Amino acid sequence: MVKFDANFLAETELVYTDGGILAEFSWSLVVLPFVAALFITFIGKYLPYKGAEIALGTIALIFIYSVSLMFIHITEGVASEFFVNVGSIGQFDIEFGWVVDGLSIMMYFVVGTVALLVFIYATNYMEGEIRYTFFFTSLTLFAGSMLVLVSSPTLIQILIGWELVGVCSYLLIGHYWEKKDNSSAAMKAFITNKIADIGLMIGIIILALNTGTLRISEILYQSTHDYEKLSKVAFAAAILLFIGAMGKSAQFPLHVWLPDAMAGPTPVSALMHAATMVTAGVYLLARMFPFYKSMAPEALDIVMLFGVITLLGAGLIAIVQDDLKKVLAYSTVSQLGYMVAAIGSGAYTAALFHLWTHAFFKALLFLGAGSVIHAVHSNSMLEMGGLRKVMPKTFTTFIIGTVALAGLPPFAGFFSKDEILASFNHEGETTFFFIAVLGAFITAFYMTRAVSLTFLGEYRGHGHPHESHNMMTTPLLTLAVFAIASGWVNIPGVYTGFTDWVTTRKTKIVEYHPESFDLFALSSGLIAGLLGIGLGYYLYQLQGSAETGDDKIKIQPVWTVLENKYYLDHFYFRFIIDPIKINISKAVDKFNTNVIDRFINGVGQIASLLGGVVYNNLDQNGIDRFLNMSSSGTDSFGGRVKLLQTGRTQQYLMLFLGGVVTISLLILFII
Amino acid sequence: MEILTNGVGLSAVVFFPLVSALVITLIPKGQEFLIKVFALVSSIITFVFSVLLLLEFDFSSADKLQLGNKISWIRSINANYEIGIDGISLPLLVLSTFITVLAIIYSIEHLPEPKSPKGFLALILVLETGMNGTFVALDLILFFVFFEIVLLPMYFMIGIWGDRTVRTVAGFKNQIETRLYASIKFFVFTLFGSAFMLLGFLGLYYRGNKTFSIPELIELGSAGAFTGTFATLVFAVLFLGFAVKVPMWPLHTWLPDAHTAAPTVGSVLLAAILLKLGSYGFVRIAIPILPEQAKAWAPAIAILSAIGIIYGSLACLAQTDLKRLIAFSSVGHMGFVMLGIASLTPIGINAAMIGMVAHGVITGLLFFLSGSMAHTYHTRDMGRLGGNMKLLPKTGALLGFTAMASLGLPGLAGFWGEFMALLGAYNPLDGLNVTVFRTSMVAGAVGTVLTAGYLLWMLQRVNLGEPSEEWMDKELHDADAYELAAWIPLVILTILIGVFPKLIFGATNDAVIAMLSKAFGG
Amino acid sequence: MEIYEVVTYFTLLLLLFSAARVVTTSNVIHAAISLVFTLALTATLFLLLSTQFVALVLVLVYIGAVIVLFLFGVMITRAPLGKNAELDNDKNKLIGATISGAIFLLFSYILINGFDGEIVITSGSSTELLGEILLSRFVFPFEIVSFVLLAALIGGITLARKDEALVDEDQI
Amino acid sequence: MIVQPVLVTAAALFSLGIYGILVRRNAVMVLLSIELILNAVNINFIIFDSMLADSLMQGQIFTIFIITIAAAEVGIGLAIVLMLFRNRQTANINEFDLMKW
């Protein structure tokens, strides 16, 4: 373990301490889940709660640890890094380690809190499901992998955590792998992410080789101090890293895996596909933000463009979904678009702030949806309705989540979304600003639609739904508190603690901090949200669509395009996956057997033919005849001699003794 | 200990298996238990020897050849019995002795038909002698002898214990038994390559002061003794010899057939160790002796590797035969190894070294698993398999894990070979064509996606889903204790190398840097 | 000529005669009995040469044990007791006689030429001394021979024992 | 006493043994003839021992050894004959021609 000597890095005036022993032992945050996963795998089955208690205990420890870190960070401000060398290759040091600074502590806290609540929720939600123990193994592994990712001080560790969370996502999406659709969805998620990872990998390679180090803090230092060194490759590296982020954070056009990922159990969707894993891309961009800002500002524009496209595109699709989880999934994509766009606009804090609030209220929404799905045994909103009465706790908390997402004060989403809009406004990106406002409107609209179809009106499904168990509603209530209050940590002009938290890093973050509310942005966002809610309420409640469950605003062909998700999946399958999987690979295989192998076999056959010619003419008739003649001579001679071999010992003895006598006589008398 | 440092220990690692094999031939055929125990014990003893060498090895001077000896052998041509190991050969040597132990453990209960432990185990041990010998030989003739010794046991293993199904072969009129076709193809292919290789060795001998000693030739080579058309030709024939063994595209076609036909243990050893002989040859002989030529050929090697990566992965997607799929995946993975070697940088060649070890461990395990499954299901057709997780949970879980390792999941062994090879290929040695290498790197990166694609697809077809009716009323046996004993160490090794690559880099890095700085200066 | 020599020559003559009987008689039992005589006469000869111990061993071991063994062998192999023309291989008689005659002539020639004028003085030898030498100087060969005997014992038993498996597959 | 008559007698015994081995058909008789040969050797040993008056009495000792080994040989030989007889129902060595080509 080497403590990083950072005489040049401590630029931020907010750093007061290196975190002391608490930071030094943060590695246990990362190691603990893996150890726990091992225990759950091997002894979980034999425990009274099938391993869930180990998972819960672990995550509770992590939660407590992250709260302590948060506490020490808020009070003192921590930024430190620790490295462990795991091998040198050439002049490169491959290092793992852990970084304890504002950004990572914020992520620890998010991961710890949401994971703890989701774990509690899942113990009840997953009860009686197959592979209960394995579910908790994977979930614990995921928590560990996510912590590997967010605690990473080196790019290589980022890559490792990056792919590990991908694998956990694969395992959990495909939890019900008996059905082919689910395993296909898992595969789709993994492959899509893997494609994006090409970008990340090459981006890391470029950065590493041009800076000569894999340490993020050094790369950031060089990118802020040594313009010449990186300038040539900065743009490429920035874009490549962003491609990686696009995969994990489901940005257009690589977002297609996320809605399919809803095949996994709902707690998984809540934890991974809403709150934590999908924010990895945003986290990466935030981690590398000084690099983007100083070396590749043009790349930021592209980041912003993609973010905006995503936030609008995904929001539109969310309107037409009938599957409650898919609505939330597209909503997640859309909100991730906000975060990415915010990073693109240079609003580092705003993006992270939205990440922070979104993690809580989206997890809340997913868990609420899970509660509903648990009750009605269906994902489809057409089979819900009227659940307000039978599931009051779920309803209340879901409404809180919805309002938070729609961005009404004083709920969390309001503050974070407002900050993003304000930043757009400040940057002068008028078009993008209005698209984002439109996005806010759409968000409010589809959430109102979802709430109407699910909770209002009359029940359209089968059976008798009832309120979920306390183990499930308690996390809901807790998250509701967060959904309300988590926005209060960064109110411009009142309390901007969050800004200080996340900018407490070894590298200085240069960004715009609004001193007070941007009234124009605030009012636009608020109006858009209210309009959205109003329109939704009007269409689905007053018009009574919720009663029948069908949508009144089906405008062909826009609706068709949206329902088919802009034909992106069709495009991918038709033009990329199927050709590779079927045509090209078959062609390659045919090439292998019919061209290369045929050539080889042909060579073999020619050789054997040639051999035949040589053998028949030269060998058999030429050399061999001579040899045969000599051999036949030997043969006939042997035939005569063999008569001596009668097998009778007496004859042998006679011959032997006769020989002895003869030789003796010869020796005696002649020689 | 004196006995370990003066070359006796190293010779013991090489020849103890051979002696054991001879002793096994003396044990009567009926004494199967005795034969098995004897083979196991002798392989373990060999492994212990290699571990003792590992402990004796001076890692602080891993770039120097150690623990070796030089004894006059064939005086008339100045061929010596010269052996020694450095950081490059040490991991491979230990891997070889280790995998052999596992192979024998597996063979105790799972002998291929026709069951004949005497011949089979004796062949494995002879094979081990060949493999270990190749890794320690420092004399070209000695190297060649060991290189060729490997062929025969493998030929017999495939030819006698191989797959008996009859199949049509492109270009042949008559159908032919798979094992016959595969064994002959394997033998002729490799012999073809090594015949040229021997020519190359002789060429070096006559130009290089009549010596076969690799260290001496390296000194000569780095001093620029081999130049011009001669050197180009020599490198070409060495390339041919080693590339067949690796195998590099388009010389790979013996590999899928050999793997498919070979018995489980045969394909494990083939994948885990035999393929490494080729890439090891590049690092040990071709590059340091002929650095300038290596530099000239490197772009070609890089392109062929990139083609191999993409081609192997695509071919995998078309396979329906489980073992054939894994065999093609070897083509892809060895493509990464060769891409690393072609970059001629410390990063690339270190990547190749860890890639070799990782591929040995992971693909060895994959072949163990697929062979065991083929044995249980009596089919390798992925169309008929499915729901393996339900039918054979332990095997299925391990298959899932290994597939993840094979697709280069970070945190497991396979990652370092792939990622570092790409890292090396981005910035090849000064003077090499950067565009070619970067294109190859991108191709390799695309290859990782395809690799993930076919492995996950394989998992989906084999492991996941509901098992088909066919297997419902069959009694299928999940992995037994012997199988687990053979597999779990590989799993642990995969994780250990993945988390702590220093296990390999710690040995190879100094040696690789020294080798390259001697070859290319600086 | 002393009486001692007369007795010796007479013994030798008898020896020759009985030995010839061993190989010429057509009766198996006669042959065995003749061998007994031959050996007895040899023992006499040894006595005449005053090597009492060896003579005694010869009588005890050979006549006492070996010949009995032979008789057993004759009886177990169901050799026809009494006259049997089939006992000899007539075709071989002439060649056998020639060869053995030639060997006899050869040996005689060598021996007569080689030991012309050599004389034996029968001084009498001490059995006590013989025992001492046998168990001191030659103790090692003695032990080895005993070991050989043991091996032969075991081998003989193993071979001659009625083995079930071998009885089954009668005609090999 | 001169030694030649004794030596010649021993040679005659030896030759007769040879004759017996060559002519006899019955395996037991062949073994009997072998005893004759051994006996001839014994006589030679004893006569040489007496002739040389060896202080170590090596002639006699060797004779004793030969007698012992002869006993062993007879035991084994007869066992083999017995075995052959059991398998072939005959002791005629002309029929034992397994060594034939």
B166, B176 in Cβ contact below 8 A?
yes
**Residue C58 placed within a domain:** yes
Q: What beta strand segments (E) does C28-106 contain?
A: none
Q: CA A69 to CA A398: how far, in whole Å? A: 30
pLDDT of B440 > 80? The answer is: yes
Taking residues A74-79, report their average pLDDT. 81
* C111 domain residue, yes or no: no
Residues C59 and C134 in one domain: no
pLDDT of A8 reads 40
Question: Taking residues B444-462, what's their average pLDDT?
Answer: 89
Nearest Cα to A444, choosing from A324, A334, A559?
A334
Closest Cα to residue B140, out of B47, B206, B91?
A: B206
Which helix (H) or strand (E) is A438 found in, with range? Answer: helix A430-455
Q: Give the CATH fold of the D4-33+47-89 domain.
A: Helix Hairpins (1.10.287)
> What residue in C sits closest to A657 (Cα-Cα)?
C99
Q: Which domain holds residue C30?
A: 1-103+119-124
Q: Indicate if the alpha-carbon torsion angle A366, A369, A374, A378 is positive or negative.
A: negative
Mark whether C11 and C52 lie in a shared domain: yes
The per-residue pLDDT for A594 is 77
**Residue pair B437/B299 in contact by the 8 Å Cβ criterion:** yes
Q: Is the dihedral of CA A313, A362, A356, A199 positive or negative?
A: negative
Q: What is the pLDDT of residue C80?
A: 60
Task: Count other C-beta atoms under 10 Å from residue A430's C-beta.
Answer: 10
Which chains lie within 8 Å of chain C at 3 or more CB pairs, if any?
Answer: A, D
Whether residue B337 has pLDDT greater than 80: yes
Query: Cα separations (Å) of B24 from B32, B102, B118?
Result: 10, 18, 7
CA distance A157 to chain B (A): 9
- Domain with B41, as residue range(s), is 2-520
- Enter the tokens of residue C89: 């291989």
Residues forming a β-bridge with D92: D26
How would DSSP label each residue in B204-219?
A: HHHHTTT--BHHHHHH
Alpha helices in B7-70 (DSSP H): 8-26, 32-56
Smallest Cα–Cα separation from A562: which of A319, A335, A308, A327? A319
- Indicate the DSSP class of residue A489: G
Q: Give the pLDDT confidence score for residue D99 in this predicted structure.
A: 62
Q: What is the pLDDT of residues B367-409, one digit of tens each?
A: 999 988 888 888 888 888 878 888 888 898 999 999 999 988 8
Cβ-Cβ contacts under 8 Å, C90 against chain A: none
Chain A partners (3+ C-beta pairs within 8 A): B, C, D
Question: Is C97 found in the same domain as C143?
Answer: no
Q: What is the pTM of this model?
A: 0.75
Chain B residues with CB inside 8 Å of A597's CB? Answer: 169-171, 253
Q: SS3 for B177?
A: strand
Q: Which pLDDT tens digit goes with each residue over C140-170?
A: 999 999 999 899 888 888 887 766 555 554 4
Tell me the average pLDDT of chain D: 85
Q: Is the dihedral of CA D11, D14, D16, D19 positive or negative?
A: negative
Measured between beta carbons, the chain C residues lying within 8 angstroms of A664 are 106
Instruction: List, in sequence order, every beta strand (DSSP E) within B160-243.
Output: 166-167, 176-177
Which residues partner with A82 through β-bridges? A3, A98
Inter-chain touch D78–C46, beta carbons under 8 Å: no
Q: With CA atoms as reference, report the closest residue to B249 among B440, B446, B456.
A: B440
pLDDT at residue number C172: 44
Q: Which residues contact A521 (CB under 8 A, 6 or more apart)?
A: A418, A421, A422, A424, A425, A433
Judge whether A101 and A6 are in contact, CB under 8 Å. Answer: no
Q: How far apart are CA A648 and CA C92, in angstroms?
A: 12
Q: CA B207 → CA A203, A613, B193, B221, B292, distances in Å?
A: 46, 38, 21, 10, 16
Q: Taking CB atoms and an 8 Å limit, are D99 and A647 in contact across chains?
A: yes
Please check the confidence at residue A17 and state whether its pLDDT lies above 80: no
Within an 8 Å CB–CB cutoff, is residue A660 touching chain D?
no
- Give me the total of CB pairs closer than 8 Å, taking one residue from chain A and one from chain C: 21
Query: Which percentage of chain A shows pLDDT scores above 70?
Result: 92
Give CA–CA dist B299/B301, Å, rounded.
Answer: 5
How many residue pairs bridge chain C and chain D with CB atoms within 8 Å of each other?
Answer: 251
Check CB contact of A7 with chain D, cutoff 8 Å: no
DSSP H stretches of helix in A377-411: 387-390, 392-406
Instruction: Please indicate whether chains B and C are in contact, defined as at least 3 beta carbon pairs under 8 Å.
Output: no
Same domain, C95 and C153: no
More confident residue, A591 or D19: D19
Domain count, chain B: 1
Q: Where are the domains of chain D?
A: 4-33+47-89
Per-residue pLDDT at B358: 93
CB contact under 8 A, B170 and A190: no
Does the beta-carbon distance from C73 to D87 stay under 8 Å?
A: no
Region A581-586: mean pLDDT is 79
What is the DSSP annotation of A307-320?
A: HHHHHHHHHHHHHH
C79 and C152 inside one domain: no
**Which of B443, B410, B309 has its CA nearest to residue A159?**
B410
Q: Pick from D12, D22, D47: which is nearest to C120 by CB?
A: D47
SS3 A411: coil
Q: What is the pLDDT of residues A445-457, one digit of tens each?
A: 888 888 888 888 7
CB contact under 8 A, A177 and B170: no
Residue of A nearest to C110 (CA): A668
* pLDDT digit string, tens, across residues A374-418: 888 888 887 787 788 888 888 888 889 998 888 887 888 888 888
pLDDT of residue B390: 83
Classify the phi-psi angles of A505: left when phi > 0, otherwise alpha if psi is within -120 to 50, otherwise beta: beta
Interface of A with B in 59-88 (CB under 8 A): 85-88
Q: List, for residues C96-125, the tens digit of each pLDDT value.
A: 888 888 889 888 888 888 888 788 877 666
Identify whether residues C83 and C132 lie together within a single domain.
no
| Radius of gyration (C-alpha) of chain B in whole angstroms | 22
Considering chain A, what is the average pLDDT of its residues?
Answer: 82
Give the sign of the dihedral formed by CA B136, CA B142, CA B143, CA B149: negative
Choose the closest CB to D101 out of A642, A650, A652: A642
* Upstream peptide bond of B247 is cis (omega within 30 degrees of 0): yes
Contacts made by residues A5-9, CB under 8 angstroms, sequence distance 24+: A6/A81, A6/A217, A6/A506, A8/A221, A8/A225, A9/A217, A9/A221, A9/A506, A9/A507
Token pair listed for C149: 């005997």
Q: Is residue C108 part of a domain?
A: no
Do the beta carbons of residue B421 and residue B337 sit within 8 Å?
yes
Cβ atoms within 10 A of the Cβ of B285, count?
24
Residue A81 phi/psi, 5-degree rounding, is -135, 150
* CA distances (Å), origin B191, targets B151, B155, B249: 8, 11, 17
Are residue C32 and residue C82 in the same domain, yes or no? Answer: yes
Residues 6+ apart with CB under 8 A from C79: C28, D26, D28, D91
**Could D68 and C42 be called an inter-chain contact, meaning their C-beta atoms sit closer than 8 Å?**
no
Quote the tokens at residue A286: 């935030």
Residue A9 has pLDDT above 50, yes or no: no
Q: Residue B55 pLDDT > 60, yes or no?
A: yes
Q: Which residue of D has its CA nearest to C42?
A: D43
CATH number at residue C89: 1.20.120.1200
Measured in angstroms, the CA of A639 and the nearest CA of chain D are apart by: 10
**Could you give the number of structural domains in chain C?**
2
Residue type, B173: K
- Higher local confidence (pLDDT), A161 or B171: A161
Give tens-digit pLDDT for A534-547: 888 887 776 665 55
Say whether pLDDT at D40 is over 90.
yes
Least Cα separation, residue D100 to chain C (angstroms)? 15
> By mean pLDDT, which of A639-648, B154-163, B223-232, D21-30 is the weakest?
A639-648
pLDDT, one tens digit per residue, over A88-132 is 887 788 888 888 888 888 889 999 999 999 988 888 888 877 888
Closest Cα of chain B to A166: distance in Å? 10
Mean pLDDT, to the nearest integer, of B99-119? 86
D neighbour chains, 3+ CB pairs within 8 Å:
A, C
